[in-house]
């Protein structure tokens, strides 16, 4: 199924996305829930599909991307964080910071954690996953290089767009990830080329920090990264489905 998160006049709700529209979910998607049989017909605003306590990201997790950035592929996964405050929904604008000189897109598969995970074994890892969505790990490339670490470059408000829904039925072994800038394909990768698989990433990260339900893991970007300009629209498709689309606007200062 496909799970979205909506703001409706009564509050914030989850809903399942079906052919006839959104069906509101009652209960807790991480525990027990059910959905209304009739589609929702009221007003709503699409929200990011979860409200994570943290977004944990894999760096240099596709060989060809590591090569294009001259990053070493280390024996252990490279992980970094994006703050929850950087998360936006599909359809919201990516704000090009006034202090930025080179803002890049990175199309990625995002893993949404479904239950608390600590010291999880690789073979059990997928049982901790609620589902998958698309992400854009927006990055200020010059700051990333200049700072020697990545926090500033990766953490601006709006730098973590997440897809319009969580797909709970995908298998992460060989998903196609496509990035389109202004409708033109600029990235195309497959998760079978991940250096660290989804299972290995969950095991590694959960050995460091407790992953909470709704936390998100960004699995890294394939090759083909490039720059965004004000006015651009960037789309990320996962497994042939358009999951995420955002337009870049200039920061108002």
Interface positions with Mg ion (CB under 5 A): 106, 137, 221
Helix (H, G, I), strand (E, B) or coil at 109: strand
Give the residue with the Cβ less far from Mg ion, 25 or 79. Answer: 79
- Please identify the residue of the shown chain whose CB is closest to the bound Mg ion: 137
Give the residue with the Cβ less far from Mg ion, 137 or 140. Answer: 137
Write the DSSP symbol of residue 125: G
Q: Are 3 and 17 in contact (CB under 8 A)?
A: yes
Residue with tokens 């698309």: 134
* Token output for 71: 């990053």
- Determine the Cα–Cα distance for residues 35 and 15; give it in Å rounded to an integer: 8
The CB-of-195 to Mg ion minimum distance in angstroms stands at 13
The CB-of-240 to Mg ion minimum distance in angstroms stands at 22
The CB-of-160 to Mg ion minimum distance in angstroms stands at 10
Give the residue with the Cβ less far from Mg ion, 137 or 167. Answer: 137
The CB-of-218 to Mg ion minimum distance in angstroms stands at 6
Give the residue with the Cβ less far from Mg ion, 16 or 221. Answer: 221
CA atoms within 13 A on the CB side of 91: 8
Give the residue with the Cβ less far from Mg ion, 16 or 197. Answer: 197
Task: Label residues 88-114 b or e (16+ Cβ within 10 Å = b).
Answer: bbbebebbbbeebeebbbbbbbbbbbb
- Determine the Cα–Cα distance for residues 7 and 67; give it in Å rounded to an integer: 42
The CB-of-221 to Mg ion minimum distance in angstroms stands at 5
Q: What is the largest CA-CA distance in the chain?
A: 54
């Amino acid at each position: 199924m496909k799970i979205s998160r909506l703001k409706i006049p009564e509050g914030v709700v989850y809903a399942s996305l079906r052919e006839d529209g959104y069906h509101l979910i009652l209960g807790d998607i991480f525990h027990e829930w059910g959905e209304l049989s009739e589609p929702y017909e009221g007003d709503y605003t699409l929200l990011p599909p979860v409200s994570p306590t943290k977004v944990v990201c894999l760096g240099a997790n596709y060989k060809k991307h590591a090569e294009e950035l001259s990053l070493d592929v280390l024996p252990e996964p490279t992980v970094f964080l994006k703050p929850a405050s950087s998360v936006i929904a599909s359809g919201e604008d990516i704000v090009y910071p006034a202090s930025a000189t080179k803002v890049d897109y990175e199309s990625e598969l995002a893993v949404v954690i479904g239950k608390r995970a600590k010291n999880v074994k690789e073979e059990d890892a997928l049982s901790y996953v609620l589902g998958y969505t698309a992400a854009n790990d927006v990055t200020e490339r010059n700051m990333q290089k200049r700072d020697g670490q990545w926090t500033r470059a990766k953490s601006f408000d709006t730098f973590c767009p997440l897809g319009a829904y969580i797909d709970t039925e995908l298998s992460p072994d060989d998903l196609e990830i496509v990035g389109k800038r202004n409708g033109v394909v600029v990235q195309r990768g497959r998760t079978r080329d991940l250096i660290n698989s989804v299972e290995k990433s969950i095991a590694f990260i959960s050995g460091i920090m407790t992953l909470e339900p709704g936390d998100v893991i960004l699995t890294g970007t394939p090759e083909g990264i490039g720059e965004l300009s004000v006015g651009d629209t960037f789309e990320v498709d996962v497994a042939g489905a358009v999951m995420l689309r955002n337009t870049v606007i200039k920061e108002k200062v």
